[in-house]
Structure 1
């Protein structure tokens, strides 16, 4: 719904976990073309080997090299390619923003010029290029593998947070925060509490795994496009799919399981902490995102079918095919 996203990062310590998470969010949701990098505190970047603004800029950009390669390993080559393109063309370096800018001095004039460039980039980001007529063809079998990995990742992370047996993921959350999450869902009608976002976590895992799928069609219904045209098509599908995945995740994690959330919140007395965690893990998350495997079941089939339906709708919206 927005025309541009400005990612503000500290030039003295660039590309830490928060901006990297934001970059992954944008690229896997098909919105990397809206991304603009604004590196602040550029005046604080210093060193004997950084004699000029261009040297300082190169120093900041070098910090992105390993980060972008890592994102490419996680989300595929088109994710890395898209972010590299944005970093190369859509970036500004801002200094002394806490002070009145003096255009008579070099630093002040440079920052004013960069702010003007920022406004121009925002204006130019509105138009989206129309893709060519050739469209990708996807295999439903690959979709099942993507859903399996997304469900495993989601459940492993949350079982660790709940203190339940399973593969190690996130740090265990304090029991009061787990209870607060159940209270916010049951009493306040929210879908999260503080940094606990189960709905968004499921959507994130599905979106990132499906973005990898989108980059690997089994064929094209016309001449194979250039990488630039492929990027436009993949992003168009991912953008629409991201919205549909939110509705799916909200329904499966919250709406369809309000009774179980209420039971978890109402737990009290001795060992209620453990019973609540097990209820959320086994009766909510395990059923919200069951891992597809060789043994069919109504829950696994329904989850896979739900994801396949929204994926097919987004794919067909741009004229692509899911067999």
Structure 2
């Protein structure tokens, strides 16, 4: 099957592809979603039908792209991949849609970032498999309707709340991926280690899993770094102690928090008394984009009880204060 990628390749893409499961049976975690998708795929194939459009939402690195590829493989279809920001003109979308064959999968990552004018062209494509292209401008303008082959659109988003209601309503299959627990991530780390021919002990795999923020992509990246550390300093064997030392070198603590996580919490405590503080003020204070804080750092901090979103702004919870030996109401300056 042809897998056409229209986005730019990442430097670690070969690594990701090697570790990416190609079948539902190889995909670890997200059991309800996996069972649901597998059933719908089987039913569509049995009818000789095209799978309904699917929306995959959730934080980055949980397997949305991997599931899109597995769906395409299971449907014995080609897949074409792009992302919302890349499609900046209706003509770009028309070119993609008219190149699809019956049953093909079009995967759009970050679909919530698609421009409104482009998004509206998708409505008729998703519902009736037609697109209306406006040719020329002014008095000579005319609309041409193009028929396209029935296809499956799989959209991935880290911020489903930014999707418009008309777009969301056109997806028949809505699936939200959640963070993984440590035991599930341990299985993923052990599978990846086998593929990479890395010698890892069960306790070493669990240590990596515990600090992976509930995210397979992070677990695989930490496995790579632990492999490098073991190669240079530990005879190529990742034990619990080796994994712990490797992750300490990366400034990743026992809770999986990295330097930026702790900077966000510490800045909120020291400069804003623990909050409430708005996302814009927080972003300026830590030198990071608001969108990155909202999509990458906040979900895990909220999930683990370090941070809370309120109508007034972000607030550090007692566990966040405890990370620095503080209690709510006490800032670093007050202790000094």
Please give the range of the TM-score, normalised by the shorter of the 2 chains: under 0.3
TM-score, structure 2 length as denominator?
0.23
Larger RCO of the pair (alpha carbons < 8 Å, separation 6+): 1
TM-score, structure 1 length as denominator?
0.23
More strand by share: 2
